[in-house]
Structure 1
Amino acid sequence: MRLAWNMAAAMANSTVVVLVSLIALPFYVRFLGMEAYGLIGFYATLQTVLLALDLGLAPTVSREIAHGAETGQQRRSASLLRTLGVVYVSVAVVIVALIALIAPWIGADWLHAKTLSESTVTQAVTLMGVNLACRWPISLYQGALIGAHRLAHSAATSMATNICAAITTIAVLAWGARSIQAFFVVQAAFGLLQVLVLRGLAWRAVGEFGAPYDFGDLRRVWHFSAWMGGVVIAGLLVSQFDKVVLSRVVTLESFAHYMLAALLVSGLQVLTTPAFNTLFPKFSALIAKGDRSSLEYLYITASRLFSTSLFALAFAVVFQTEPMVTIWLGDAKVAADVAPLAAWLAVGSALNGIMVFPYCLQLAAGKPKLAFLIAAGLLVITVPMVIALAIKYGAIGGAVSWAILNALYLFIGTWLTGREVMGFAGWLWLKRSVSIPLIATFAPALLGAWVCRTLAVAPWMSLGCGVIAASTGIVLGFAGSFSSGELRRVVDMAIGRRTPVGR
């Protein structure tokens, strides 16, 4: 029940965060302009890249708190949490100072603004640093709540803060100071509020309020944290390098279009992030018990369900972005510019999302080194490919490079996971659990797009056709992946009934 509740909470949080961003964006563009939204996109990229400074400490504290609850060592876990709180505050101060130092250079030489003045861009970048510092400890206290099995508390706080921040920001821009500086000030205030609420919830969940500081205890968790930090850093560089390069080589308006496309594609995280948060601990438990048959059954069954849903959603983005953006922003020209970018980014993100299963299995099996080596290898490919394609083709080059990179990740990662971790996670998994849902969801999505294009239907009609095509793809994917008996067993498992494990 707790596993199902945590999964539901994680999905609700992901859904609300994405919806809030999508709903608020037209207001931000209207009040601030497309170039200012490009600055918001640059901030999002900067925020993600700086997560490398976390060095894997957030998942480490999550693991330690969960372990401490099982072994009766809550005081040691509480001591670690208190110590890491000091570390995070120190890093936040460094972030403010570093970004304030380089802000003039970014405003003058890195970002290419046409309508915004250099001083405005510099001030905005400086406020980005303040915003990042205010939000920096969020991951620490979220990790603590996850480790204490209080994911619902973390999700509720995130949803409430994001909704209130968006409403307040829109109100300030509409009736107050209509500037990008005001945007970042309001966001920083709500980021700090979220930290304070999460800190209180984390300490209440962990207990042991009198636990001492112990910086020597950091040595105990350093090995696990170092490997996880390597995985996180390499993964972040792979996923964000296209945005870093494009922010330098294209105009701020073109970069804004790219980030708008990325925001649309981020809707796929409604499935991928909750899947990781739910599957990783479950895989770990089954491996610890030595229950390989249940692990294999869960891996294959869940990946078929997940692949079908993910591909159906991804192909809806691929083929329906233009009418979606036309309705959303009311600007057909922007929609035409964003559509091809979103299509390539959606393909790459869907392939990346499928790899959540091999990635979870690698970590659950105690092989973070394999995950690091794969990420490092992809980074070696990413750097020259993104630079070459972005310089030659601009924003579309960055989007295409993301799709190519994740196609390589799919094949290389699957092969290595099957060879080094579990045989059932190799080529046979790719053939049976991924390719069938891919074909089943692609065919109706392509047909629906062709019909809409041929008949030149209105945007709303096109979106309706896309929904029908996606629903048809899901039905075909489930029918092609499961027999009637298997599907009934999956439904029973999903609603909590006991079922015999087998294939």
Structure 2
Amino acid sequence: MRLARNMAVAMANSVVLVLINLIALPFYLRFLGMEAYGLIGFYATLQTVLQVLDVGLAPTLSREIAHGAETGQQRRSASLLRTLEVVYVAVAIVIAVFVLLTAPWIGDYWLQAKTLPTETVTQAVMLMGINLACRWPISLYHGGLIGAHRLAHSSATSIVINVCAAVTTIAVLAWGMRSIQVFFVVQAVFGLLQVIVLRVLVRRVLGERDAPYDFGDLKRVWHFSAWAGGVAIAGLLLSQFDKVVLSRIVSLESFAHYMLATLLVSGLQILTRPAFNTLYPKFSALIARGDTASLEYLYDSATKLFATALFALAFGVVFQTKPLVMLWLGNAKVAEDVAPVAAWLAIGSALNGVMYFPYSLQLAAGQPKLAFATAAGLLVVIIPAVLLLAMRFGILGGALGWALVNLLYVVAGTWLTGRKVMVFAGWSWLQRNVTVPALATFIPALIGAWICSMLAVGPWTALGTGSIAALIGIALGVAGSFAPSEFRRVVAMAFGRPTSAQ
């Protein structure tokens, strides 16, 4: 299997999705206004929060398909997919009904709209429910393609449909009806289309189209799925608690600023999601094969490369947010409000991104209980922290809470993974493979920001300086983490050429 190819197509998908959101945002603000964009941000939060209803079934399917390919049990995997399809359709109906029933209460009492009529907000929330139901099975089919090492299929579908959805939405808003209701209708249509295409692809890849439904087989995977679902619930609460709290206590306009900062930081997902989607099935396959030596080598070398690129990108956001927003939206006031929030969100997200490696290893080793215990412990910290900080500092407090809880996550999660899963994933991994890239990329970024501040340069020059600093940081990170011969060996492994570690 070519890890480089899978990572490349997954990264292409992430890059396109981030670019779509960044390019489309000015049009949405122009045609709909800041408060309407706040509703879009609330929809994104609601969509993420409701992923708790997945109860770990998508990652369970990924693991089962990856194991089935190694053990010759693809028919059982196909049967599990058919069974889970029924479950997902039922959950989609529940989601739609729940959101439709609660929409009046959300519009009247939860969201703090000032200019949008309450009726408009309520209708938008109702359409969110329809949209969520249409898109709900995407994660199931995406998980199936991940387990089958078919990221190219899933990524290509996502790219094409999301580009078409964005272009169609902008065109309808520009030349048709300019309303938030229209936005959600168009998004629902393309979401349903993506479900249909992904379903065809995953069933074609697995074959065994006559595989029977087997609800009894759910008992076999339920233990893993239940704990993975617990992890998902706790993880979603961790990542969305700040947004849920802020959507209630700040104005819809301020919440929109927070979601703007979140959108900027989502650029880090260019690396994090592809890394998880590529490495999780590979870790699962190596553990099923009992190849601990290759697992350790892949874990260490992939972390060093990933952490170097991730921290370089994150520190670029930390130090260059203000000029970026100025060039993006041309609004100095918005740039001033968003910059510090985005900086702290970027720090927290970079720390969270590094922990995808321990998390992937825990799931691949069949120990979701450990991941759940870690996430549950972090929840005890983040709930009071975000509440206090958000009430005291508003949207900046929400970002500070996110950064603090992820710092704790890095410390506690690394220690637990080294003690309970694999020794090589403990403190030595954090010191060698995370700390060195972080320092190597932080120093050039800091120097670049200091130069820009001293010379009072314009936004274009600031971004150029930040880009150069990031490239220098990447070079220093690679040089500090790999000997030349080892780096060539890692490149060979990524492109599928045999190495001694394999």
Same fold (TM over 0.5): yes
1:16 counterpart SS class? helix
2:457 counterpart SS class? coil
Larger deviation, residues 294-303 vs 345-354: 294-303
2:470 counterpart SS class? helix
Where does residue 113 of structure 1 map in the other structure? 113
Matched, 1:482 2:485: no
Matched, 1:392 2:366: no
Where does residue 232 of structure 2 map in the other structure? 232
Pairing of 1:263-412 with structure 2 (within 5 A): 263-412=263-412
Larger deviation, residues 285-294 vs 158-167: 285-294
- Any idea what the Cα deviations from partners look like across 1:267-316, whole Å, max 9, x if unmatched? 11111111112222222333334433332222222211111111000000
- Any idea what the Cα deviations from partners look like across 1:196-215, whole Å, max 9, x if unmatched? 11112122222233333333
Where does residue 78 of structure 1 map in the other structure? 78
Question: Match of 2:341, as an amino acid?
Answer: L
Question: Match of 1:182, as an amino acid?
Answer: V
Q: Contact 2:66–2:285 at 8 Å: present in 1 too?
A: no
Question: Offset at 1:375?
Answer: 0.6
Describe the shift of the 1:284–1:149 C-alpha distance in structure 2 as closer, same or farther (beyond 3 A): closer
Describe the shift of the 1:481–1:64 C-alpha distance in structure 2 as closer, same or farther (beyond 3 A): closer
Question: Offset at 1:338?
Answer: 0.5
Where does residue 43 of structure 2 map in the other structure? 43
Describe the shift of the 1:446–1:13 C-alpha distance in structure 2 as closer, same or farther (beyond 3 A): same
Matched, 1:203 2:192: no
Q: Contact 2:66–2:284 at 8 Å: present in 1 too?
A: no
Partner Cα separation in structure 2 for residue 200 and residue 374 of structure 1: 37
Pairing of 1:408-419 with structure 2 (within 5 A): 408-419=408-419
Q: Contact 2:2–2:494 at 8 Å: present in 1 too?
A: no
Question: Match of 1:76, as an amino acid?
Answer: R
Q: Contact 2:63–2:281 at 8 Å: present in 1 too?
A: no
Matched, 1:469 2:469: yes
Partner Cα separation in structure 1 for residue 462 and residue 249 of structure 2: 34
- Any idea what the Cα deviations from partners look like across 1:7-37, whole Å, max 9, x if unmatched? 2221111111111111111111111111110
Partner Cα separation in structure 2 for residue 67 and residue 298 of structure 1: 18
Question: Offset at 1:71?
Answer: 4.4
**Percent sequence identity over aligned pairs:** 74
Count of equivalent residues: 502
Question: Match of 1:474, as an amino acid?
Answer: I
Q: Tell me the TM-score normalized by structure 2.
A: 0.97
Q: Contact 2:61–2:147 at 8 Å: present in 1 too?
A: yes
Where does residue 92 of structure 1 map in the other structure? 92
2:178 counterpart SS class? coil
1:208 counterpart SS class? coil
Q: Contact 2:70–2:285 at 8 Å: present in 1 too?
A: no
Describe the shift of the 1:434–1:92 C-alpha distance in structure 2 as closer, same or farther (beyond 3 A): same
Describe the shift of the 1:62–1:288 C-alpha distance in structure 2 as closer, same or farther (beyond 3 A): closer
Q: Contact 2:56–2:226 at 8 Å: present in 1 too?
A: yes
Where does residue 437 of structure 1 map in the other structure? 437
Larger deviation, residues 225-234 vs 419-428: 419-428
Describe the shift of the 1:242–1:175 C-alpha distance in structure 2 as closer, same or farther (beyond 3 A): same
Partner Cα separation in structure 1 for residue 261 and residue 144 of structure 2: 33
Describe the shift of the 1:361–1:476 C-alpha distance in structure 2 as closer, same or farther (beyond 3 A): same
Matched, 1:16 2:55: no
2:213 counterpart SS class? coil
Question: Match of 1:47, as an amino acid?
Answer: Q
Q: Tell me the TM-score normalized by structure 1.
A: 0.96
| RMSD after superposition | 1.6
Pairing of 1:97-176 with structure 2 (within 5 A): 97-176=97-176
Partner Cα separation in structure 1 for residue 210 and residue 300 of structure 2: 46
Describe the shift of the 1:289–1:6 C-alpha distance in structure 2 as closer, same or farther (beyond 3 A): same
